[in-house]
Structure 1
């Protein structure tokens, strides 16, 4: 009799606990999209691709970063001149970070304590204390129309793309100094580090190319060109990256061409093109490298791409003009 009672009690306790664990894991696996045209954030279940919620944000939400330790999502609200802090449990804005004028792209230091944001209208970069939400310092003259922002993997420097001067500005955010400037292609948009920080890849939107910078010498070691039959060269406008977690492949959104280029990072060869939506823009990849997700700014949806098949398997309508996509796993 006692054995039966123990088994019943075990079932009563274990099953609800198992359900709770499963539901917690499902809840944790999400796709998050900022929609700069409708001023909101779309949250999608990564496992079922069902829309879970649409939450209000500040005006013109663009770049986003998730901080796992606090379960907070930071969202640059460009027209409000701030970064919203959203609690991902309550889905409410619980605070803001000072940013200066027109924040668009930002990055967070490897220790999670500091953010650096590009201020496109003022040609500045602002260094922010995430804990206090206050500005630490402003670095001036970081090129004309600065956009992309990336901390080096060791957190020592920040690389900033400058659209107007066709350069990459390397800054020391801790000293507030400009360290170096590298000339790249026409209208550099975004950047991504690869090979443990030995390379910095830059999309040149109007040049239709990607520049690969040697971070030891601050010189260009390779330029990647794109060409696909049936697509005019003027429509090939590289914007964003999703680097595979194993470091072997780069997925590059090509804007007006409606395609994503797949590049072998070892020999810099373009090995395939994947059809997506209209003005394919932001990109993110899952931890297992199996699923690539991109935002399509003119068709107001996202494309779910199977990286093994190199094909879109689903499109999901979101808000107006989706900008950035992040995956929370």
Structure 2
């Protein structure tokens, strides 16, 4: 009897620990019109808190430990602020002033640092929360350096340059000059694609980069190792806004802000699998790490569509405020 009771006790404790761990996962969603960050329980799809942010929030990212969020305040390339949010207390912390870099937009958290595109300065910047300083930047020389992807080892940075119609691949290496101290050297490869290329993603295996162009609806497929354009898919995704691979790398989602379509492509065959109507206009995409669902921000509709990744169907809607856009996943560790 004692053994059974002890076993049940341990089982209950285990359930409690795992249930609590699961409950710490949060969906972060920006409302551009209400100037708020909504914190959502992904299990119940209920908003459990909102925090005020700046006048033109566009993208959000969470720290690796899931305790802090960073929000880029864009202003069409004119503003210079990153909001910092304590996700535990659900309160704003002191802002980051990105000057002399203007127009922070795309934002990533890698190796303990915040990386961001600075569209108004044609550059990439990096902020170190430990020192509370901007500790690195590099110019792209391209027009509207907008979205951003940083590799897990922080040795490669990818951007789309919307008005230049290019993709930049920035590669960092450590060099030691003769009789000098080691320093980090960065080189840039600029790959011509199609004007209006904005939403993009790198495949989970790190081999390909797909970028969608809003003007002609095409998708550029780039070989990351050779840094060359492989092919251009005539996807007819006019108004394309964002693009994301599923966690298993088998499918690619593209949203159209103009038509409200969600296009689903087979990553291997590069063929369209399905076109899902999610609203009047579709923008930000967030894949749930376990590969079960995706969230699509439908800005003109004032809701977020919930997509079942197996059925490729809309299974529900979530309201987080007017004109939702930037989405992120935060998991407290």
The answer as to whether partners of 2:54 and 2:83 remain within 8 angstroms in 1 is yes
Q: Distance in 1 between matches of 2:226 and 2:132?
A: 35
For 1:216-227, list aligned pairs within 5 A.
216-227=225-236
Structure 2 residues not aligned, in runs of 5+ = 174-183
**For each residue in 1:232-268, what CA deviation from the matched residue of structure 2 results, as whole angstroms up to 9, or x when unmatched?**
x7xx222212311111111111221111111111111
* Maintained 8 Å contact 1:167/1:182: yes
CA separation of 1:117/1:16 partners in 2, compared to 1, >3 Å: closer, same or farther? same
1:230 counterpart residue number: none
How many residues align? The count is 315
Which among 5, 20, 23 is matched to residue 24 of structure 1? 20
CA distance in 1, matches of 2:172, 2:322: 34
Aligned pair 1:321/2:323, yes or no? yes
Is the Cα–Cα contact under 8 Å of residues 217 and 234 in structure 2 kept in the other structure?
yes
Compute the RMSD of aligned alpha carbons: 2.6
* Offset, 1:14: 7.4
The structure-2 alpha-carbon separation of the partners of 1:221 and 1:144, relative to structure 1 and needing over 3 Å to count, comes to same
Equivalent residue for 1:184? 193
Report deviation, 1:60: 1.8
Distance 1:28 1:191, change over 3 A: same
Which structure is richer in relative contact order (CA contacts within 8 A, separation 6 or more)?
2
- The TM-score, its normalising length taken from structure 2, stands at 0.85
Give the alignment of 1:142-221 within 5 angstroms. 142-172=141-171, 175=184, 177-194=186-203, 196-221=205-230
Q: Secondary structure at 1:240's aligned position in 2?
A: strand
Partner of 1:93: 92
Q: TM-score, normalised to structure 1's length?
A: 0.86
Q: 1:27 to 1:60 in 2, by over 3 A?
A: farther
Specify every segment of 5 or more residues in structure 1 that has no aligned partner in the other structure, as ranges: 228-232
| Aligned equivalents of 1:26, 1:128: Cα separation in 2 | 30
Distance 1:48 1:183, change over 3 A: same
Q: Deviations over 1:203-243 (max 9, x none)?
A: 2111211111011221111222224xxxxx7xx22221231
Give CA deviations for 1:136-161 in whole Å, capped at 9, x if unaligned: 23323430111011113442121111
